[in-house]
Every structure is written in C-alpha cells, then in structure tokens.
C-alpha cells in the first residue's frame, strides 16, 4: 500500500504517474489527489513555457548584426562586387573560400534539372521555403521556378531558381557559412559569386549570363533579410 510520502515523492518527479497503486491512494487521500492534479497543471504550464518560438531563437539579438548600418554594409559589398567582377579582378582565394565556391558548384551541378523548369512556383510554396530563414524575396526580380529546402554540407538551405531577363539564376541561402569577403565562382560553366549576408552568406550563380556581377547585385538587393 502506498503512503502519502511515497505518493508525493513519485508524483513530484513524475506528475503523470498512474496505475492501480496510485489510483487507490488517490481514492483514499483527497489532499494527495489534489496535489497531483496541481502538479499536472503545473507541468502543462511548464510545457507551454518551454515551447518557445524557434523563430525567436534564430532571430539575432538587437545590436548583434541587424539594423540600418548592417544593411548599408551589405549594399556596399554588393556594389563593390559589381566593380570587382566587371573589370575582371580575380579575388585572392584562400583554401576556405575556394571550398565554399566548390561546394556551391557541386550542389548546383548535382541538381541540373532545377535550371530547366519554366512554371513559377506558388507563392505559398516559396514562403514555405524562405519563412524558416526569416527572409523573403521582394517581387519584381523574376519568376521563381524552383524553390526547395535542400541538404547542403549537412545543413538544410533554401535553394531557389529565379528566371530573370538575363537568364536563369540559382540562389542558395547559406546561413551556416560566414565569410568575410565575396568569393567569385567560375567553374564548370557556372559564373557567379558568394556574398556575405546578414545571416551567413548567399550564393548566386548562373550559366551564360551576360553580366553576372550586375545580376548578382540585383538578386542580393531583392532578398529581404528581415533585419
């Protein structure tokens, strides 16, 4: 037979505890039954409290990378890359930056069919891909004909294909990859750039683009980072 001390020790650790012994004691002791009910209600409140919105966890703390100064910095980077790429400047590529370019190329080359789609994706589908990142694409950049969350180097990243007047452009939002400077991509027929972004980096690549630098800048400016 369970006594009050044993009952309360157990339900204090496991409020959901039940079974014949517990039921029998609850019938015998109204105070213990009330105590277990209060603990179960408390657990309900604990569960609600623990269920914080993941989007709030992912949003950077105020002053930790958002705000107008950050936006100006990234637009400045976008402008500088146009100049750098347009005059054919070759960026010094250290091993880590070479690897990010290769990772992007490997990803795009591995999914060749994505560049050939013509039907725009539904707005809801696009939102489903971008919403977890807290980002969105401003209208007017072109039709998004492919939008998916893909595995890239062990991380799930948004992968878009945008049909612009200049051609089809692949966009990868690489939240997990911080880089300090833009990295040019020019291999396996793909041209583009990886920019630092308010969250991680963004890769913008295409094939046979007339002015890849200009295209990359337009795409970069079309992404609303929510900062």
The residues of the shown chain that bind other proteins, judged by CB under 8 A, are 3-5, 8-10, 12-15, 31-32, 35, 39, 42-43, 45-54, 56-62, 64, 149-151, 153-156, 175-176
Work out how close the CB of 85 gets to other proteins at its nearest, in angstroms, rounded to a whole number.
29
Determine the length of the chain.
Answer: 227
Which residue's CB is nearer to other proteins, number 50 or number 92? 50
Which residue's CB is nearer to other proteins, number 64 or number 69? 64
* Residue 207, helix vs strand vs coil: strand
* Residue 168, helix vs strand vs coil: strand
Work out how close the CB of 213 gets to other proteins at its nearest, in angstroms, rounded to a whole number.
30
Which residue's CB is nearer to other proteins, number 42 or number 89? 42
Q: What angle do CA 167, 173, 177 make, to 5 degrees?
A: 130
Residue 150 dihedral angles phi and psi, to the nearest 5°:
-115, 155
Work out how close the CB of 198 gets to other proteins at its nearest, in angstroms, rounded to a whole number.
14
Residue pair 107/150 in contact (Cβ under 8 Å)? The answer is yes
Q: Are strands 190-196 and 155-164 parallel, antiparallel or unpaired?
A: unpaired
Which residue's CB is nearer to other proteins, number 111 or number 181? 111
């Amino acid at each position: 037979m369970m006594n009050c001390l044993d009952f309360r020790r157990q339900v204090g650790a496991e409020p959901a505890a039940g079974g014949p012994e517990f039921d029998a004691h609850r019938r015998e002791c109204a105070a213990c039954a009330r105590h277990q009910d209060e603990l179960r209600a408390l657990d309900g409140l604990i569960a609600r409290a623990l269920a914080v919105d993941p989007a709030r966890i992912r949003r950077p703390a105020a002053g930790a990378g958002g705000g107008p100064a950050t936006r100006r910095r990234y637009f400045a980077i976008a402008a500088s890359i146009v100049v750098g790429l347009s005059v054919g400047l070759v960026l010094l590529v250290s091993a880590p930056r070479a690897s990010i370019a290769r990772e992007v190329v490997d990803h795009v080359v591995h999914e060749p069919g994505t560049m050939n789609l013509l039907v725009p994706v539904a707005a809801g589908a696009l939102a489903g891909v971008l919403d977890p990142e807290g980002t969105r694409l401003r209208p007017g950049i072109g039709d998004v004909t492919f939008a998916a969350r893909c595995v890239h180097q062990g991380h799930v990243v948004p992968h878009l294909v945008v049909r612009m007047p200049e051609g089809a452009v692949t966009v990868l939002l690489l939240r997990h990859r911080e880089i300090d400077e833009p990295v040019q991509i020019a291999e396996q027929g793909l041209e583009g750039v990886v920019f630092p972004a308010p969250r991680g980096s963004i890769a913008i690549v295409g094939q046979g683009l007339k002015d890849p630098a200009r295209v990359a800048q337009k795409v970069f400016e079309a992404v609303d980072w929510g900062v």
